[in-house]
Structures are given as C-alpha cells and as structure tokens.
Amino acid sequence: MVEILIVVGLAVALFVGFNIGGSTTGPAFGPAVGAGIISKALAGTLMAVFFFVGAWTIGRRVVDTLGRELVYDPGVFTVETSIVVLFFIGGALFIGNYVGVPASTSMTAVGSIAGLGVATGELNWAVMGEIAVWWIVAPLVGFWVSVMIGRYVYPTINRWIAITSSEGALVELDRSGAVPLPRPGPNTTRREFFGTVTLVAISCLMAFSSGTSNIANAIAPLYGAGVELNLLLLLGSGAVAVGALTIARRTLDTLGNDLTALPLTAAIVVAIVSSGIVIGLSAIGIPASFVIIATMSIVGLGWGRATRTTTLSESIHGGEEPNVSVGALAAEEPGEEAPALGEEDPADIPSAADLFDPATTGRVILMQNLVPVLSTSGAYVTFWLLFRYVW
C-alpha cells in the first residue's frame, strides 16, 4: 500500500511540475519567440536546461525550507498528507489558468503546507512570518527599483538596445580555427547582435530563477515525507521539461503577451529586476512569486518613465496623476537621443495603449492573493477533518 501511495504522490508531483513548465516558459521566452529570434522548440529546450540548473543549485535551499523548516516536525509529511498538499497546489494552477491569471505556485505551496501545519499544531510561525514579510517587501523593492530605472536610466538603456531583422543569418560559425566559434552574420550589426544575445540571455536568467523557486512547489511535500532529494529534483525538472516542450508551445504566445506587449527595453528591465529579486530570495530559502514581483516592476517602470516630464516631488505630492502607458515606456525609439530629465514634452507620451488598467491590475493582484488564501484555508479545513475523523 505504501508503495502505491508513493507512486500516486510522485504522479501528482510530476503533474504539478508539468504545469509549471507549461505556465512559466511563456513569460520567460515569450519575447524572444515573439521577436522571431528563437523557435518554440529551442525555447522549451533552454527552459528545461536552465530550470534544472536553478533547481539543482539554489533550488535545494527553498525545498529544504518548505519540506523541513516550515513545520517543526517534518513527520507530519506522510505520503498521504503530501498527496493532499500537492492536490491543492495543482488545483490552484488549474483555477489560475481557468480565469486567465496564473496563480502563484510559491504562495499556494506555502499556504497548503501552512494549512497542514496549523491543523497539526506544527507550523513554525517564525519561518512563516519571515516568508510573509519578504512577500510584502520584495514587490515593493521591485516597484521602487523600476521607478528609479524608468525615471533616470531607461532612455539610456533604450538607446543601447535594438533588435532589427537584417537579411541573412544572425549568427554564423567561424570554422577557421580549431574550435568553431559563433560570430555575427554578414549583415548583422553589432547593435542587433548585442540586443539579440541580451534578450536570449535574459530569458535564460528567468528560466534559472524559475528553477530556484518553483521546483520546491512540486517536490517539497514528498521531500518532507522522506523521498530522496536528488531523485525528486531530477523527476521534477524532467516533468517541467516535458511541459516546456509540449503545452508551453500553446502558451508561449498567450502567456508571453504580458511581456511581449511591452517594448523590448521594458521587457528586459522587468525581467532583470524580477529575476534578480527571485534568485536573491531563493538563495536565502524564501519562496517568491515572480508574477507579483514582475507586475509591480511593470507598474513602477511605467510610472517612473511617465514622471520624467515632472520633478519627482511633483509626481508624488501634487499635480496630475501621470499617465502610465506603453507609450510612456517607449517615448524614444532605440538609437534616438534622450531628452533631459524634466524637459520631455508630455505630448510625446501617448496614452493609446495602456500598459495596465485598474481592472486588469486589480484582477491580477486579487487572484494572486485570493488563490493562496483559498489554498491555505482549504488545506486547513481538510487536514483538520482528516486528522479528527479519518486518521
């Protein structure tokens, strides 16, 4: 019976990993695929590779936090309870995808485990409090860092980055030496080559950051139940790879829209800021939500970019509310000279396509917080009933 339950638990964990691969490949590689730089097959392959690297290295720390430190007694993680926890995580993924707002698997996983811990009286409130504090601080850090970049640095970055489509191959192999080396194609400019390499590198960084944080959501309960960690890392990463190479083909376009709707420069800035914060938190064992941090980074970048036409004190304490739009992020085309701070013409910041609107932003934030609450309360009630009347 125990062997059968372990097989069931592994199957549920693999299902969660499969969905993680399908839902996180789009935000990571959507811009690169949308720009025609790499194919969906290559995007899935790169996602699988860099997710595994992140999971195998820094991801171990987050797995240990969720599987061993969040509860006083890891013995509460039996195979049966692990299956229930993973059920709530998988259910959250389904609910989020159904309403069109991918749920935070990190917050949902913590919520499910916390529900188990409260029901059994084993929740480590100190660790839970530390995680909750970082969940508040991290999006604020992402917001204000992006505000500063948008206000003071964005035009300069925008002049550096340009991805255009020149005729011929973007990259060729130089076979003149003993080892073939990649070099720009005959018609590829240095700016085009640099922008292309930068975009692919940032996508790989996002895949790496996803591995550092998200692998724990699929395997931490079974790790707490005593299943060997290296085996779980291999199986979980393998399931993510399958999802990245299959269902992600259908979600690369739709899930990537959140970033590809942005100008390329803004997408790169958001990716760097968000990935950097997620990797930093993972290094200290804190599971983080990339989507929430990225959302706040987008809002901060747009607001900082829009307020370049005013002084910072005016934008905070008075005057008209800045119009945060895609145009606010893309007032200059790559290569154009940036106006001095405070000298930009407000008419150069169009408002035709809003970067975010209150309804959409509110729906994202609501679902990102509501789903973990439902997961926590649902897990608590379920485990309370099971321990009282069944187990």
Query: pLDDT digits over 336-384, tens only?
Result: 555 555 555 554 443 434 445 556 666 666 777 777 888 888 899 999 9
Answer whether residue 234 shows pLDDT above 60. Answer: yes
The Cα–Cα gap between 305 and 300 comes to 8
| Residue 250 pLDDT | 67
Sign, CA dihedral 162-163-169-174, equals positive
Answer whether residue 171 shows pLDDT above 70. Answer: no
Give the mean pLDDT of 221-238. 94
Q: Interior CA angle at 47 toward 49 and 366, to 5°?
A: 135
Q: What does each C-alpha distance from 292 to 126, 143, 177, 213, 233 come to in angstroms? A: 23, 10, 47, 14, 25
Pull the structure tokens for residue 117: 């811990």
**Which residues, other chains included, contact 307 with Cβ-Cβ below 8 Å and sequence gap of 6+?**
151, 315, 322
Provide the residue type at 201 as one letter: A
The Cα–Cα gap between 226 and 247 comes to 31
Residues 18/89, Cβ–Cβ less than 8 Å: no
The Cα–Cα gap between 173 and 179 comes to 10
pLDDT band for position 320 (cuts 50, 70, 90): very low
Percentage, residues of the chain above pLDDT 90? 35
Greatest extent of the chain over all pairs of C-alpha atoms, in Å: 74
The Cα–Cα gap between 94 and 295 comes to 21
**Which residue ranges make up each domain of the chain?**
2-390
Residues 298/355, Cβ–Cβ less than 8 Å: yes
pLDDT band for position 254 (cuts 50, 70, 90): low
| Residue 205 pLDDT | 94
Answer whether residue 53 shows pLDDT above 70. Answer: yes
In angstroms, the first-to-last Cα distance of the chain is: 16
Residues 24/212, Cβ–Cβ less than 8 Å: no
Answer whether residue 260 shows pLDDT above 90. Answer: no
Question: How many helices (H) does the chain have, and how many strands (E)?
Answer: 16, 2
The Cα–Cα gap between 226 and 20 comes to 23
Q: What is the pLDDT of residues 262-306, one digit of tens each?
A: 677 787 888 899 999 999 999 999 998 877 888 788 888 888 887
174 sits in which H/E element: strand 171-174
| Residue 366 pLDDT | 74
Percentage, residues of the chain above pLDDT 70? 74
Report the range out of 179-183, 214-218, 355-359 with the highest average pLDDT: 214-218
Q: Is the pTM of this model over 0.75?
A: yes
pLDDT band for position 31 (cuts 50, 70, 90): confident
Answer whether residue 223 shows pLDDT above 60. Answer: yes
Give the mean pLDDT of 199-222. 92
| Residue 354 pLDDT | 45
**At which residue do the structure tokens 């968000």 appear?**
274
DSSP letters of 247-264?
Answer: THHHHHHHHTHHHHTS-H
| Residue 26 pLDDT | 78
Provide the residue type at 385 as one letter: L
pLDDT band for position 105 (cuts 50, 70, 90): confident
Neighbours of 138 (CB within 10 A): 21
Selected residue with higher pLDDT from 331 and 181 = 181
Selected residue with higher pLDDT from 379 and 181 = 379
Nearest-10 Cα torsion for 161, 166, 170, 172:
-130
Selected residue with higher pLDDT from 157 and 47 = 47
Answer whether residue 140 shows pLDDT above 80. Answer: yes
Pull the structure tokens for residue 32: 């690169």
100 φ/ψ angles, rounded to the nearest 5 degrees: 85, 10
Give the mean pLDDT of 73-77. 89
Arithmetic mean of pLDDT over the chain: 79
Burial 18-41 (b: 16+ CB within 10 A, else e): bbbbbbbbbbbbbbbbbbebbebe
**At which residue do the structure tokens 């606010």 appear?**
328
Q: Interior CA angle at 328 toward 195 and 309, to 5°?
A: 120
| Residue 331 pLDDT | 46
| Residue 170 pLDDT | 64
Neighbours of 124 (CB within 10 A): 18
